[in-house]
């Protein structure tokens, strides 16, 4: 009835070490054996929850394109931070949505701006929660680009070198407010060196930099830009974020440069469409802490399919997180961090939207 069940006579001509001597399924019959030979274990301590904080009043505003995610008031942010701590998450990464945006992104350079106040609130309420700040200008500028505008020839784009000094100032403000890790996401050349220099000069030699080293341009950030109200008002980000069709070695060069400039943790982003890049970075730079950003578009696709009943959300999410770790990421920034932490620690049975 089950032809491969009985370990029958060795097929004529088969080599030692092959079927039926070798049966890969022997590692799969017993759940305990399967568990024993796993190399990927999901653990909330390796996940970072992104949180959006606004300064437009006391409301917790749902983000339409990211069901289950919110623009949080500072009070709600503290609630989320407390939960993140209780669930044993690796940390949170904060994105600020200021009430006023202007051409130079002033709120990002104000010690009483939305993000500095948010960091102070979290550090007062939950001092032990690892608090990472995303360091960029696109959430603060009215044009939605990631730094000070300038020209490359006749093309309006971000002025790389003029932005570096601003990033250094922003980083020092975040560190002063209490940020534990600074995560520059703007893909400016030389940004890690500029930020390292500024932090060191201000006495923050101990604050690590998690660089968005290989960040690709594309539609996967669409829902985030709704969430952070940060879509570029003209053009796109292709003159600073990477081209998906570029050789993967370009990502390795980006990582190499960031490490030379002093990055402590490097990142590949998005995750799912770039598992090959994650693997190549892992192999080329063993021992370097590697993060992957499981971005908003990846989140929203699964949430939409799960809501429609087309896919089993929790099972899919587990497989996604597993695949990103298996590709080589030590750390995953994921909108599912809290929820998946509840499942892996058995707090609920794996429903979405708890
Ligand atoms: C800021 C930033 C972005 C994301 C993280 N930091 C947006 C962008 O580059 O347009 C995207 C995160 C996500 O899509 O989940 N530059």
The tens place of each residue's pLDDT in the chain, 354 residues long, gives: 444 544 455 556 667 779 999 999 999 999 999 999 999 999 999 999 999 999 999 999 999 999 999 999 999 999 999 999 999 999 999 999 999 999 999 999 999 999 999 999 999 999 999 999 999 999 999 999 999 999 988 888 999 999 999 999 999 999 999 999 999 999 999 999 999 999 999 999 999 999 999 999 999 999 999 999 999 999 999 999 999 999 999 999 999 999 999 999 999 999 999 999 999 999 999 999 999 999 999 999 999 999 999 999 999 999 999 999 999 999 999 999 999 999 987 766 556 654
Alpha helix ranges (H) inside the chain: 31-36, 74-86, 114-125, 160-177, 191-201, 222-228, 248-261, 275-284, 296-307, 313-327, 337-344
Coil, strand, or helix at residue 154?
A: coil
Angle at 164 between CA 196 and CA 107, to 5 degrees: 100
Structure tokens belonging to residue 134: 């995303």
Q: What is the DSSP letter of 89?
A: -
Residues with catalytic function: 215, 269
C-beta atoms surrounding 236 within 10 Å: 13
- For ligand 1, atom 6, which residue shows the shortest CA distance? 185
Distances (CA, A) of 51 to 6, 78, 88, 133, 147: 54, 10, 16, 10, 22
Q: Return the sign of the alpha-carbon dihedral for residues 212, 214, 219, 220.
A: negative
Atom of ligand 1 nearest to the CA of 185: 16
Which residues have any ligand 1 atom within 6 Å of their CB? Answer: 134, 136, 138, 146, 185-186, 221, 224-225, 295-296
For residue 74, report the distance from its CA to the centre of ligand 1, in Å: 21
């Amino acid at each position: 009835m089950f032809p491969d069940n009985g370990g029958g006579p060795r097929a004529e001509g088969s080599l030692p070490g092959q079927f039926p001597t070798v049966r890969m399924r022997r590692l799969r019959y017993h759940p305990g054996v399967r568990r024993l030979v796993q190399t990927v274990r999901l653990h909330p301590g390796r996940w970072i929850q992104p949180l959006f904080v606004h300064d437009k009043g006391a409301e917790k505003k749902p983000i339409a394109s990211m069901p289950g995610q919110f623009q949080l008031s500072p009070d709600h942010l503290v609630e989320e931070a407390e939960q993140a701590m209780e669930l044993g998450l690796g940390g949170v990464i904060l994105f600020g949505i200021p009430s006023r945006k202007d051409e130079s992104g002033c709120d990002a350079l104000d010690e009483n701006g939305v993000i500095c106040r948010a960091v102070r609130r979290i550090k007062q309420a939950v001092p032990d929660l690892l608090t990472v700040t995303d360091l960029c200008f696109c959430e603060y500028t009215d044009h939605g680009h990631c730094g000070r505008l300038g020209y490359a020839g006749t093309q309006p784009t971000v002025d790389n070198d003029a932005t570096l000094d601003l990033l250094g100032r922003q980083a020092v403000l975040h560190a002063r407010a209490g940020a534990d890790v600074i995560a520059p996401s703007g893909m400016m050349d030389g940004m890690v060196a500029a930020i390292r220099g500024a932090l060191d000069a201000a006495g923050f030699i101990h604050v690590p930099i998690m660089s968005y080293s290989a960040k690709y341009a594309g539609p996967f950030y669409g829902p985030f830009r709704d969430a952070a109200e940060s879509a570029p008002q003209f053009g796109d980000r292709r003159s600073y974020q990477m081209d998906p069709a570029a050789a993967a070695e370009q990502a390795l060069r980006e990582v190499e440069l960031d490490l030379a400039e002093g990055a402590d943790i490097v990142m590949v982003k998005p995750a799912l469409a770039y598992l090959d890049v994650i693997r190549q970075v892992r192999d080329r730079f063993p021992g370097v802490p590697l993060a992957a950003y499981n971005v908003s578009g990846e989140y929203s696709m699964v949430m939409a399919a799960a809501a429609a009943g087309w896919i089993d959300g929790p099972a899919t999410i587990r497989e996604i997180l597993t695949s990103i770790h298996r590709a080589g990421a030590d750390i995953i920034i994921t909108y599912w961090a809290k929820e998946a932490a509840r499942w892996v620690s058995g707090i609920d049975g794996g429903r979405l939207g708890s």
